[in-house]
């Protein structure tokens, strides 16, 4: 039967319900037990013949003469329902079979018993329709083969794909463990603006919007960094935020234009202290969620124990590219980028080229947790210079499974140095680099009032969860990743 015909048949059933005075979408339910609780207390409830009311979606339907079996599923589990004509009555029984379909939400009240096959079952004495489905559930969820369809119709994916449900539930738990760990270590949770008059805090192209009331162009934030550091100026010593960032960039297994980032800042820390904290925090979170500090990712066992190796950006660059970044000039890096089929933009400087080469040849080879430290000054406009080497900064990235999971550094709190860095970025922006950071006069003024020495850390929640749940793409752990609409042509 065609989908339109099925929908029409269900609309006719809906009309039949309405004519019978039945609300197919009532506001209230009288559920007494979640299914998992009914199963957990099954023996006691069954022995005492306690009347329980369960709710959920009808997932299967089997008729046997004067009786019918249904599979009922709620958020916690699934149980079998048993409807018998001589219990509920001929009229109710027949009306139920004629109007209730697979996919409908119902509540059923009755007593628990075990069938001859020892299956835990609710013998229903009464039922109530909670939501009539007008479209049928797919007999076979083709989304498993069509990945884009799974993301577009995530609601169906969640119904049929238990692995996805498990991963997304894990995301919530992992995020909460992170929050609690920070709170227990004296951090204050903050909320900073998403709509900003000037974007900053990262090298990324922003999304632009407009506020009609003030006739003001605004940007969706690319990072909360500069506002969180204003809080350090204001006297808070430990702050964090878990929130959405927006970057107008490409989409791949590690990137989605809308993503969740944790950033935290601690006064009187440096990047060495931040590395120690990351080691202890990740070990705690992984053990709290999985009971062990070891995980499996894409066929490899990864260990979040002990101190992680530390390797300088230049040593890693030299090992995998064959070039010494510090001794190379822009032409050397352009030549290497061409060899690697890296797209070279006119606005790219030495730092941009080096970073792209590093991402292409070095980062994918780092599987175990490793701190890549002491990045070039050119690609780190907000980090403090190393005392012994002003061409490099006190910065680290934590790489695991070939992905950047953490980016952090000792924060630049010298307003004069910061202005010079911003001015250098402005020159890059004028050459056409849309990812360059902009000169933020208000932020520099805040620094002029004094910001204590501090370390700042950014962790991509999507990437971290993808890593910990052995997901091949961040889209697997984002409930509704951005997708190009199927009918794009028709919208023009």
Confidence at residue 146, expressed as pLDDT on a 0 to 100 scale:
77
Does pLDDT of 131 surpass 50? Answer: yes
Going by C-alpha positions, the residue among 245, 194, 200, 228 that lies closest to residue 440 is: 200
Q: pLDDT (tens digit, 9 = 90+) per residue, 55-89? A: 999 999 999 888 999 999 999 999 999 999 999 99
234: domain CATH number?
A: 3.30.930.10
Does residue 362 lie in a domain region? no
Q: How far is CA 265 from CA 10, 43, 231, 249, 407, in A?
A: 56, 53, 9, 26, 12
Confidence check: pLDDT of 164 > 60: yes
pLDDT of amino acid 116: 93
Domain co-membership, 73 together with 160: no
Which residues are CB-contacts of 18 (< 8 A; sequence separation ≥ 6)?
24
Do 103 and 223 belong to one domain?
A: no
- Please identify which residue in the block is written with the tokens 């149980």: 79
User: Which structural domain, as residue segments, surrounds residue 207?
Assistant: 154-309+368-482
Whether 405 and 464 have beta carbons less than 8 Å apart is answered as yes
Q: What is the DSSP string of 191-243?
A: ---SEESS--SSS-PPEEEEETTTTEEEEE-S-SHHHHHHHHHTT-SEEEEEE
Rounded mean pLDDT, 119-123: 97
Task: Give residue-wise pLDDT tens across range 250-304.
Answer: 899 999 999 999 999 999 999 999 999 999 999 999 999 999 999 999 999 999 9
pLDDT at 245: 98
Pairing of strands 207-211, 395-400: unpaired
Say yes or no to pLDDT of 490 above 60: no
Separation in Å, CA 314 to CA 263, 344, 402, 442: 26, 21, 17, 34
Residues 162 and 269 in one domain: yes
Three-class SS state of 332 = helix
CATH of the domain at 21: 2.40.50.140
Note whether 118 and 267 are same-domain residues. no
Among 92, 68, 70, smallest CA distance to 81 is for: 70
pLDDT digits (tens, 9 = 90+) for 211-236: 999 999 999 999 999 999 999 999 99
Question: Is residue 355 included in any domain, yes or no?
Answer: no
**Residue 25's CB: how many other CB atoms inside 10 A?**
11
Q: Which pLDDT does position 138 carry in this prediction?
A: 87
What pTM was estimated for this model as a whole? 0.92
Q: For 338-389, what is each residue's pLDDT tens digit? A: 999 999 988 888 999 999 999 999 999 999 999 999 999 998 999 999 999 9
Rounded CA gap, 206 and 311, in Å?
32
- 37 within some domain: yes
Distance, in Å, from the CA atom of 263 to the CA atom of 247, rounded to the nearest integer, reads 16
Question: How far is the C-alpha of 16 from the C-alpha of 31, rounded, in Å?
Answer: 25
334 domain-assigned: no
* Residue 239 belongs to some domain of the structure: yes
Q: Do 100 and 160 belong to one domain?
A: no
Residue 435 confidence (pLDDT): 86
Q: Residue 144: pLDDT band by 50, 70, 90 thresholds?
A: low
- pLDDT at position 434 is 85
pLDDT at 333 over 80: yes
Residues paired with residue 129 on neighbouring β-strands, in sequence order: 106
The predicted pLDDT at position 142 comes to: 60
Q: Do 100 and 209 share a domain, yes or no?
A: no
Residues 213, 267, single domain; the answer is yes
Residue 433's pLDDT is what?
85
Are residues 127 and 158 both part of a single domain? Answer: no
pLDDT at 141: 67
| Residue 139 placed within a domain | no
Q: Write the pLDDT tens digit of every residue in 182-209.
A: 999 999 999 999 999 999 999 899 999 9
Assess contact for 425 and 439: CB atoms under 8 A: yes
What is d(CA 69, CA 387) in angstroms, rounded to the nearest whole number? 75
Q: Which residue has the higher pLDDT, 485 or 77?
A: 77
| Tokens (6 digits) for 413 | 């709190």
Is the confidence at residue 489, as pLDDT, over 90?
Answer: no
What contacts 120, CB < 8 A, 6 or more positions away?
39, 42, 79, 80, 112, 114
Instruction: Please report whether residue 159 resides in a domain.
Output: yes
- 137 within some domain: no
Instruction: Return the structure tokens found at 226.
Output: 């500069």
Average per-residue pLDDT for the chain? 94
Q: Mean of the pLDDT values across residues 412-427?
A: 94
| Alpha helices (H) along 291-393 | 313-321, 330-339, 350-361
When divided into structural domains, the chain yields a total of: 2
86 vs 84: CA distance, rounded Å: 6
Q: Which residues have a Cβ under 8 Å from the Cβ of 93 and sit 6 or more positions away? A: 66, 68, 83, 84, 85
- What mean pLDDT do residues 465-470 have? 98
Residue 139: the pLDDT is 77
In this structure, what token pair is assigned to residue 361? 């040849």
Distance of CA 267 to the CA centre of its chain: 28
User: Of 88, 116, 131, which closes a domain?
Assistant: 131
pLDDT of residue 406: 98
Q: What letters, b where the CB count within 10 A reaches 16 and e where it falls short, cover 423-433?
A: ebbeebbeeeb
């Amino acid at each position: 039967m065609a989908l339109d015909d099925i929908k029409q048949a269900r609309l006719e059933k809906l009309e039949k319900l309405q004519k019978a005075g039945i609300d197919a979408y009532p506001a209230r339910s009288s559920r007494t037990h979640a299914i998992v609780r009914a199963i957990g207390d099954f023996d006691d409830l069954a022995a005492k013949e306690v009347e329980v009311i369960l709710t959920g979606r009808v997932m299967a339907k089997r008729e046997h003469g004067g009786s019918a079996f249904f599979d009922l599923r709620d958020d916690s589990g699934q149980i079998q329902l048993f409807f018998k004509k001589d219990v509920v009555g001929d009229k109710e029984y027949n009306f139920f079979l004629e109007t209730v379909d697979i996919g409908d939400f119902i509540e059923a009240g009755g007593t628990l018993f075990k069938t001859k096959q020892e299956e835990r079952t609710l013998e229903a004495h009464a039922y109530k329709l909670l939501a009539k489905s007008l479209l049928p559930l797919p007999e076979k969820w083709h989304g498993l083969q069509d990945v884009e369809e799974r993301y577009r119709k995530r609601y169906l994916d969640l119904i049929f794909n238990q692995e996805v449900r498990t991963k997304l539930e894990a995301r919530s738990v992992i995020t909460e463990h992170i929050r609690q760990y920070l709170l227990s270590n004296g951090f204050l949770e903050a909320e900073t603006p998403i709509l900003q008059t000037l974007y900053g805090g990262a090298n990324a192209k922003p999304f632009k919007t407009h506020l009609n009331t003030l006739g003001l162009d605004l940007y969706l934030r690319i990072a909360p960094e500069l506002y969180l550091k204003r809080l350090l100026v204001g006297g808070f010593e430990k702050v964090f935020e878990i929130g959405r960032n927006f970057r107008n960039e490409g989409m791949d297994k590690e990137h989605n234009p809308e993503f969740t980032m944790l950033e935290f800042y601690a006064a009187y820390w440096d990047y060495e202290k931040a590395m120690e904290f990351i080691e202890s925090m990740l070990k705690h979170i992984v053990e709290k969620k999985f009971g062990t500090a070891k995980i499996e990712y894409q066929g490899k066992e990864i260990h979040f124990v002990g101190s992680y190796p530390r390797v300088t950006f230049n040593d890693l660059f030299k090992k995998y590219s064959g070039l010494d970044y510090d001794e190379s000039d822009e032409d050397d890096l352009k030549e290497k980028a061409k060899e690697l089929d890296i797209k070279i933009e006119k606005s790219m400087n030495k730092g941009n080229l080096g970073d792209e080469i590093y991402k292409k040849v070095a980062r994918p080879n780092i599987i175990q947790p490793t701190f890549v430290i002491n990045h070039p000054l050119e690609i780190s406009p907000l980090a403090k210079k190393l005392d012994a080497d002003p061409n490099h900064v006190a910065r680290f990235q934590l790489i695991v499974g070939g992905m950047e999971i953490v980016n952090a550094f000792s924060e630049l709190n010298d307003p004069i140095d910061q202005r010079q860095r911003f001015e250098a970025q402005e020159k890059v922006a004028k050459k056409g680099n849309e990812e360059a950071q902009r000169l933020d006069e208000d932020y520099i003024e805040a620094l002029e009032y004094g910001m204590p020495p501090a370390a700042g850390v950014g962790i991509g929640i999507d990437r971290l969860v993808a890593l910990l749940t052995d997901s091949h793409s961040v889209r697997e752990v984002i409930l509704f990743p951005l997708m190009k609409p199927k009918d794009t042509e028709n919208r023009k």
